[in-house]
Structure 1
Amino acid sequence: MSSKYASLASEIIDGVGGPENIRSAYHCQTRLRFELRDESKVRIEQLNATDGVATTRSAGGTFQVVIGTHVKDVFDALEPLLSASGAAADAGEQRSKKKRRNPLTALIDFIAGTFQPIVPALSGAGMIMALLAILTTTNVISKESQTYIVLAFMSNAVFYFLPVFVAISAADKLKTNRILAGVVAAMMLHPTWVQMVADKKDVRLFEIFPVTLATYGSTVIPIILIIFVQAYFERWLDRVVPNAIKLVIVPMAVFLVMGILAFTVLSPIGTVMGGWLASFFTFLTHSAPWAPPVIVGALLPVMVMFGVHNAIAPLGFAQLAQMRFDSIFGPGAICSNIAMGVASLVVAFRTKEKKVRQIATAGGITGLMGITEPSLYGIALPKKYL
């Protein structure tokens, strides 16, 4: 445990009502997120006054403590304290006792929890694409060169194998076996299947069940449907299969049943839904290309405050995977982030308060890099810029 953040982690645990009040804890890019037993036990004023805490929020069924881009270091210091008290291990046992959330909140939480761990990989791949665009535009390299081809498949790899990453992340969110989920996703990308689709010959399982010929690289909806069903099927198997044979029977049953369902039922449904989504993207691109950037750019700070941006950003990821560009979320988000970052740097330049200058400088830099929470909670909201 890092001694640098040990004291802060201890104060945060105390502020949210102690380890006995915590069902589970995790973090995103800037926030600690707690599922609490009783939110009325939280000492909000104490937490907000804690040095190292930007602010607190309650949204989407979780209590959030905004830390900043070093949130992982704070979480690494906090996790051993929870493990020692048994709070983290108790999360699974209390799942059935948790208060039911409304479907919209649960959906947003699932989408956000699934895509957040994948964001760094998507961002890195997107930056390589941007670098390639610059290099080809300035004639440093040509699209026919081996350098371009290698860099191109390096950036495209994350999108082609996106179903595997989504499967693993969704399995983590649904608390099911991530390796089994990844293998089921890999079945959909197997070279033999890709070749069968390319051959365009009729495929039937057991000579009865028709299989829809479709490629699943770069898709997200089919695998989300599959893992959602797989999580419940796997839990049922864990209950009914004897422990002595569970190690071999459960994986075999998952692969057989989910593999067949994936190719005959769930993936085709997901493909149709993905087609609708692609049509929606195409309609917006041709009919109202200005609308998404304006709406997202204007409302992004408010969406970040309530965590709704996590439900919209995956639309951009899906469009990027299917069409190799994002006109839904990215352009508006970039403009909003730049505006927030620049505003924070202006405050840093003009303020005479040392602490405010430190917060504004750090927040401005991270805002320009795409993380606006430090600027939003440390500068914009306290100074009523919104």
Structure 2
Amino acid sequence: MAGKYDDLARAILENVGGRENVNSVAHCITRVRFKLKDEGKANTEVIEKLDGVIKVMQANGQYQVVVGNKVEDVYDAVVAVGGLAAGGEVEADDEDAPKGFAAKAIDLVSGIFAPMLGTFAAAGIMKGLLAAATTFFPAFKADGAYTILYTVADGMFYFLPVILAYTASKKFKMSEFTGMAIGLALVYPTMVALTGGEVVGSVDLGFAGTFSWYATFFGIPIIMPASGYTSSVIPVLLMVWFGSKIEHWCKQHMPASIKMFFVPLVTMTITICFGFMIIGPIATLITNLLALLFNTLFGLPVVGPVVGCLIVATAWMPLVIFGFHWSLVPIAIMALTTQGYNNITCAVIGHSFALGAVMFAMYLKNKDENFRGICLPAIISSFFFGITEPGIYGVALPDKKAFVIACLGSAAGGLVMGLSGAVSYISGGLGVFNWLSYIDPGTFGTGITNMIWAIVASMVAAVVGFVIEYATYKSEAAK
């Protein structure tokens, strides 16, 4: 049976140079992301005129076709009609990899985090809903229903190293199951419980924190953070990268007759042991230093939170255009897992509301039916789901001034967050669902205060964007 988007998928594949020009294909929340052997063979002008395509972006070694909320259906159709391998990926040649440090770094981070963000956000939404429920109905926390629903909310956060081990293994081209075994070792109950025992020794590294160990490995201290490695980010990424090097070496030097069992045995043993002895403490040190850097910026007297929030909120949408916003995602997750709150990306709460309001002002003044047909879905997507690419590429960027005004609105929302000192406590949904992320789960005693500030920041961003755009917009420009 033909799928709804099969014709669109065929047209896209034909105009990217055909199936034979595709090294790999993946998707994020709005874009089908191709890695092409030769981007010169792609007919960008034709693709951008296809019904259902919003924009084409070429960045970080990827040919990105922006299709909006229907991205999963279009991606599935591309995989099906193109006869691509299961999962839609074909091994890319080394010469087709992104060039330059920045491009490689963004490609690496987006490749690791993008596949799990939808489910990660869904778990965050459930956490927010439960936090709201127990805030207004405290007795609900003692109910069995709360316990079951909390596994939906917290399971992915707790076992985050396992999820990241899987996606990182694919990115580093090693066995996914061997990578997951490394992640599982980090959250193994015995190792998690180890930090609850008696401290055998410790060393104070000053501003980098105090490092303690609770057991030894043949006399070598097993240094672990007090909370263990559950919900951690950097340790598992470094361990899987190291493990991929071990695995590749073993595959090259071991006899074929013993590879099946001994490659994963040697890889897991060396990586896990070395990981707990060396990589884990190094990763903890990196985590502490990154946290110190951002806490120093945001902790500067009077101006810290304001300056930090203004910078992040103003730059967020320009970063989205080039995919550079991915660089802040692991830092935000790290902040959540180390200090229990996020004061970094919480500043961007207003960006989707500012963009949605700017587009709404344009929608009211521009009576062109084609323009309104593009604008209305983008407004809904931006306000309610926080997905801004359709609005950025399809409406705001072509107007240029509208994009600048949306950034100003986002900055106004960031200013409110900076002045209020509000932080988020979970990595939840986007748009209106992101408000739930600001409800205190009961750890810091702030209740719904930060959520109120998040709503205020969103409304301020929307009002600033709407008022400026409505006062200055001329519909002829859009035509």
Normalising by structure 2, report the TM-score: 0.74
Amino acid at match of 1:305: I
Change (3 A) 1:272 1:286: same
Question: Do the aligned partners of 2:239 and 2:271 also contact (CA within 8 Å) in 1?
Answer: yes
Distance 1:9 1:277 in 2: 42
Q: Which amino acid aligns with 2:34?
A: F
Instruction: Check whether the contact 2:60–2:106 (CA below 8 A) recurs between aligned residues.
Output: yes
Change (3 A) 1:195 1:98: same
What pairs with 1:200-279 in structure 2 (closer than 5 Å)? 200-201=199-200, 202-205=214-217, 207-214=218-225, 215-279=228-292
State how far apart, in whole Å, the 1-side matches of 2:152 and 2:73 are.
29
Alignment partners' CA distance in 2, 1:227 and 1:84: 27
Q: d(CA) in 1 for partners of 2:52 and 2:65?
A: 10
1:280 corresponds in structure 2 to 293
Aligned residue for 1:355? Answer: 370
Distance 1:52 1:144 in 2: 45
Partner of 2:354: 339
Answer yes or no: is the 8 Å Cα contact 2:61–2:98 preserved in 1: no
Q: Secondary structure at the match of 2:5?
A: helix
Matching of residues 1-386 of structure 1 within 5 Å: 2-83=2-83, 91-92=90-91, 94-98=92-96, 101-137=99-135, 139-142=136-139, 145-146=142-143, 151-152=149-150, 154-199=152-197, 200-201=199-200, 202-205=214-217, 207-214=218-225, 215-287=228-300, 288-332=304-348, 334-368=349-383, 369-384=385-400, 385-386=402-403
Alignment partners' CA distance in 2, 1:2 and 1:316: 42
Q: Give the C-alpha shift of residue 136 in structure 1.
A: 3.9
CA deviation vs aligned residue, 1:211-240 (integer Å, no higher than 9, x gap) = 213311121111110011111221222222
Shift of 1:84: 6.2
Shift of residue 351 of structure 1?
3.1
Where structure 2 has 5 or more consecutive residues not aligned to the other structure, the ranges are 201-213, 404-479
Q: Pick closer, same or farther for the CA change 1:72–1:326 going to 2, 3 Å.
A: same
Contact 2:224 2:280 in 1 (8 A): no
Check the 8 A contact 1:60/1:105 in 2, yes or no: yes
* Worse-matched range after superposition: 95-104 or 366-375: 95-104
Q: Are the equivalent residues in 2 in contact too, given 1:181–1:227 (CA < 8 A)?
A: yes
The amino acid of 1:294's aligned partner reads L
Q: Could you say if the C-alpha distance between residues 292 and 116 of structure 1 is closer, same or farther in structure 2, counting changes exceeding 3 Å?
A: farther
1:70 partner SS? helix
Q: Give the drift of 1:148.
A: 5.5
More RCO (CA 8 Å, sep 6+): 2
3-state SS, counterpart of residue 341 of structure 2: coil
1:141 to 1:34, Cα distance in 2 relative to 1, 3 A:
same
RMSD between aligned residues: 2.4
**Per the alignment, in what secondary structure is the counterpart of residue 244 of structure 1?**
coil
The 1:133/1:289 distance shift into structure 2, 3 A limit, reads farther
Contact 2:29 2:118 in 1 (8 A): no
After superposition, the Cα gap between the structure-2 partners of 1:2 and 1:269, relative to the gap in structure 1 and judged at 3 Å, is farther
Say if 1:63 and 1:8 are closer, same or farther in 2 by CA, change over 3 A: same
Identity score, percent: 30
1:300-332 Cα deviation digits (max 9, x unpaired)? 221111111111222212212222322111331
1:68 Cα deviation from its structure 2 partner: 0.8
User: Which amino acid in structure 1 is aligned with residue 215 of structure 2?
Assistant: V
- Of stretches 275-284 and 108-117 in structure 1, the one that deviates more from structure 2 is 275-284
Offset at residue 149 of structure 1 (A): 5.8
Q: Which runs of 5+ in 1 are unaligned?
A: none
Cα pair 2:170 2:176 within 8 Å, conserved: yes
Q: Name which of structure 1's ranges 143-152 and 287-296 shifts more when overlaid on structure 2.
A: 143-152
1:135-184 per-position Cα deviation (integer Å, ceiling 9, x unaligned): 344x3225863466665554333222111111111112222212211111
- How far did residue 134 of structure 1 move? 2.8
Aligned residues: 380
Deviations 1:174-199 (A, max 9, x none): 22212211111111111211222221
- Describe the SS at the equivalent of 2:258: helix
Q: Which moved more, 1:218-227 or 1:17-26?
A: 17-26
One-letter amino acid of the structure 1 residue matched with residue 263 of structure 2: V
Deviation per residue, 1:269-311 (Å, 9 max, x gap): 1011111122234324432122333222222221111111111
